[in-house]
Structure 1
């Protein structure tokens, strides 16, 4: 049953006092309380009032694309997934709106909305809602996903908590515009070396930037370059600096942060990074500038890893990686950057171990590649992680050559275990024949999994689709990466979907947190019942869409775009995943508590979370629930 505005007809305008009374009812709830009077008036005038009896369906997937926004006036509404296999649901009360994502994206709802009691709603046509949202920021923000706003707020709160112990001037989150030295020594590409070197000496600086007429960086010459590029080749001092400069020069924008510069320096073994505004050079930061911020540095640890000439020297750096991670977390580095830094340094540690052991065994790494699987392959390692690795080698007689590479796998895996990376309980390690194969053997295995794999196969091999080369000749891994991009058979995708849906978000039917009790303490496993839900979904969607990305965030965003998912919804996926990663890191980085929990490093007692964390955890898990529902609809409907 529905009716127009009370006290009016289709052709009449409502009495002013009735309109004011109705608008007052709306203003009791967000976002209507923040809307301009004229915008709210438009919504109220366009709204129909409707009544639904208990158990009556208000909206369902069979209705087609959403045509209206429902605002609950009184009563309770439950949303349940349309497929029986998916548990979960949500409850809406007075002031709540639905279905926001379906209405804004022009698609059908993915849940069935049913009245739990006598329900009265305001029903506003989609065209009116979108028109008002275009001129009303509070409504637009609300419709564009409250979830994303809450996740962003919680992310900022995580960073705030982490920085309480760090001084503001020491924050690695500071933008380079605050850290750079604006007075940069620059010359044109035709400047003779003699003049450039004299200027470096007079200014007592270690580098000179070469720029074009528009002050855009073309190259750089440092003191270290002089020996290899000028002195040893006996270049005459009248040579133009453009002939000996290092190019292309790697630069960052003024908006980039100290930790981004640190990662760039470490990745490319740099000591100086030019800072640009647009394309114009405005400053420079050096290794000394950045790492005066802390007694440890990414560059210092990575340099010592590269320089280590024996295994024991490499192993000495493992505790420093954890110490550096704790320090950077205290300076406000976010979960995405922090896990990337941890993975980068762990890559360097692994690479050096592979090189040292290969040399000791007389093996040519030009004929093989060391592969990282799982979280290391995705670049998402936290401090509590075991080993997932393998070897791909070139051979026409793999059975004959395999023992030599297995010896390398055993030696490296044992060293990694000493470094604090436990042996994989599932045996996914290069020391085992199933993870040490020739290029052709890996290729045949991938093709078998993609076309004929069994459910049992999938449970064992899914992390192989995160393969990334870490050491050796990366080209040998490319055939595997190409196969990991698909195409996969519909049958295999279905198996992956079933695998991804094995675990459900720990939410009650009303959407409340549903923790489990361990030793009398209520809590949640943030990996198994949190981040893993996004990892599995992202891997499946990337394979189904032929996405090349390996990281979960990148997969979610790229696959969502390929599927036509709205920007706010796919950003919500990524933000929810990163929030859960941040909670995991908080627990692991707590002083003296990295692995202290008897329930494991990913277990968090509910009473340890503050109100915002609990609320955002619930919303993040709800996002995972919706994402799983999408997988169910896309791959298990038949």
Structure 2
């Protein structure tokens, strides 16, 4: 072995992921590298040129520019570049030029591909480069407001059905919104479709003068203009309906039908929802949920925003839960009193990823009798065991409807919240944190509606409770080291990793919950809470924007890490090795953690988020 190769080996031993290679493999790889010297201001390659290998900076500096000449990054020793083009079609996606006299090492693309195929550390390190550079609009991520093709046609409840039929025929539509009032004051009260006219008028022999109000579907399911296209698909497939009114503040803004969706292809999340909605057994649902990691990988690879990815993943859990409730009632018979199944935790916040347990509870109508409790105990056991079989594991803390403590009448739940607020001991703080993330999933939603508003008001007025909640939220700290590094796990399976859930996402979730409490904000999703807190003045504009950007980076990197694990054939988890990141990524991730720590400090020192 000559001295030049020994020098390259010594250098590679200081560069990740080469430092993870066995000695004999490292020796082989070092022999493959080609050493090249470039004077200052030399072009290494231009955008669109064929790339013969991966470049590694040994000495000097290189700037990378996009095809328009805009600066993308400045690289120094131990930084790699050129991999995005190599791992796509072999053509450079950027241009590279030295800014100082530089020594670069070039690894042939065949050797790079071999390393990625054979060693997980290389697959993880370069996985981001393998993702597609762009992704066109699809139905799942398109806003409902962008899908509405025309102004909605309406009639009032007194309109004769014959006139309504002519209105639909003349305008070539299959439904009308039934409203009361005029203009912006009009409120949607129902919907009538051509199917209604067939089944409820013609089939029943009713006269054409029959008022629409007698045959319409009252209080129909609706969506807001800001909902996603996935909401349309999931609701239509799960509830077997073909028309959805789009409503904002009670006013009908549009109508979405199955015909409106024909220009879009249904994405895989909608396919999973459909398969869940038609499943007759837990085993069939389990077959569906086993496809979620693949869906996660595809959604992340398509560069969807993290809040879209987690929303689509959570929608599947919601559908599984509702389907299990249907199957439970089919087995046990109709419930003796109305009930409401609610989710808390990540499902409640619509933030599920590829790793999820279950957190849920049951609200029962106050008319429930002691003899009725056995029915709900059996329903809870059926649903929770079904969720567990489908991959949503039993909660280690027993925060589930199978626990009699969390299967109670509304009056008991009201007293629970009152006691937690008035006596905020450590258990009360923990339970209140969980329960403030409640979201109705299936059943009679009105059982929770008033309770949520009154609890927020009661809690926000109690300064002692708020102070205890703030103190409790600050227990989760970002993993920042003392010397501009990260505080990684020191031993065990995840040694030298950081927990992107406990140290990354959870501190921001806690902040969002406190802001929602202080501002009496009804939002449950973390990002929605941060946006609402900024709009309501609970946080300053600059502090809110910084925190949202920090959250977006941390949550996105967590999902990208999980997707990389799935891509390599492993189960997703929440652990990320900082050494797998580029210097650029490590710097920005640390900056994001610093923002979170700063906002925590402001809250902890009594300045609120405005300090």
Shorter-chain TM-score bucket reads 0.5 to 0.7
2:564 is the alignment partner of 1:605: no
* Residue of structure 1 in register with 2:132 after alignment: 164
Residue deviations 1:246-295 (CA, integer Å, cap 9, x gap): 79996887x9875565467568865467999xxxx999875466476546
Q: Distance in 2 between matches of 1:476 and 1:188?
A: 32
Residue deviations 1:181-212 (CA, integer Å, cap 9, x gap): 78x99899999466556668xx7x86689999
Residue deviations 1:456-495 (CA, integer Å, cap 9, x gap): 4433552122122222222333464245414233333232
Q: Distance in 1 between matches of 2:468 and 2:535?
A: 23
Q: 2:348 aligns with which of 377, 397, 404?
A: 377
Contact 1:291–1:297, Cα closer than 8 Å, also in 2: no
What secondary structure sits across from 1:392 in the alignment?
strand
Q: 1:583 aligns with which of 526, 538, 557?
A: 557
The 5 A counterparts of 1:16-415 are 164=132, 168=136, 172-173=140-141, 192=163, 195=166, 223-234=194-205, 258-259=229-230, 262=233, 271=242, 287=258, 290=261, 293-294=264-265, 296-362=267-333, 364=335, 366-395=337-366, 401-415=372-386
Task: Describe the shift of the 1:162–1:270 C-alpha distance in structure 2 as closer, same or farther (beyond 3 A).
Answer: farther
Q: Normalising by structure 2, report the TM-score.
A: 0.63
What secondary structure sits across from 1:471 in the alignment?
strand
* Residue of structure 2 in register with 1:111 after alignment: none
Moved more, 184-193 or 524-533: 184-193
Contact 1:370–1:391, Cα closer than 8 Å, also in 2: yes
* Residue of structure 2 in register with 1:558 after alignment: 532
2:458 is the alignment partner of 1:490: no
Task: Describe the shift of the 1:161–1:241 C-alpha distance in structure 2 as closer, same or farther (beyond 3 A).
Answer: farther
2:478 is the alignment partner of 1:505: yes
Contact 1:275–1:284, Cα closer than 8 Å, also in 2: yes
* Residue of structure 2 in register with 1:41 after alignment: none
Residue deviations 1:72-114 (CA, integer Å, cap 9, x gap): xxxxxxxxxxxxxxxxxxxxxxxxxxxxxxxxxxxxxxxxxxx
* Residue of structure 1 in register with 2:394 after alignment: 423
Contact 2:417–2:432, Cα closer than 8 Å, also in 1: no
What secondary structure sits across from 1:317 in the alignment?
helix
The RMSD of aligned alpha carbons is 4.6
Cα deviation, residue 575, structure 1: 3.1
Task: Describe the shift of the 1:512–1:231 C-alpha distance in structure 2 as closer, same or farther (beyond 3 A).
Answer: farther
Aligned residues: 469
Task: Describe the shift of the 1:495–1:170 C-alpha distance in structure 2 as closer, same or farther (beyond 3 A).
Answer: closer
Q: Distance in 2 between matches of 1:586 and 1:169?
A: 20
Q: Distance in 2 between matches of 1:270 and 1:329?
A: 30
Q: 1:546 aligns with which of 516, 520, 531?
A: 520
* Residue of structure 1 in register with 2:507 after alignment: 533
Task: Describe the shift of the 1:193–1:550 C-alpha distance in structure 2 as closer, same or farther (beyond 3 A).
Answer: closer
Cα deviation, residue 530, structure 1: 0.9
- In the alignment, structure 2 segments of 5+ residues that lack a partner are 1-127
Q: Normalising by structure 1, report the TM-score.
A: 0.60
Q: Distance in 1 between matches of 2:135 and 2:601?
A: 44
Residue deviations 1:142-175 (CA, integer Å, cap 9, x gap): xxxxxxxxxxxxxxxxxx9796187637575567
Q: 2:586 aligns with which of 607, 614, 619?
A: 614
Task: Describe the shift of the 1:291–1:508 C-alpha distance in structure 2 as closer, same or farther (beyond 3 A).
Answer: farther
Q: Distance in 2 between matches of 1:551 and 1:524?
A: 24
* Residue of structure 1 in register with 2:50 after alignment: none
* Residue of structure 2 in register with 1:7 after alignment: none
Task: Describe the shift of the 1:406–1:245 C-alpha distance in structure 2 as closer, same or farther (beyond 3 A).
Answer: closer
Task: Describe the shift of the 1:176–1:367 C-alpha distance in structure 2 as closer, same or farther (beyond 3 A).
Answer: closer
Q: Which has the higher contact order (CA 8 A, sep 6+)?
A: 1
Task: Describe the shift of the 1:267–1:295 C-alpha distance in structure 2 as closer, same or farther (beyond 3 A).
Answer: closer
Task: Describe the shift of the 1:196–1:448 C-alpha distance in structure 2 as closer, same or farther (beyond 3 A).
Answer: closer
What secondary structure sits across from 1:592 in the alignment?
helix
Q: Distance in 1 between matches of 2:539 and 2:377?
A: 45
- In the alignment, structure 1 segments of 5+ residues that lack a partner are 1-159
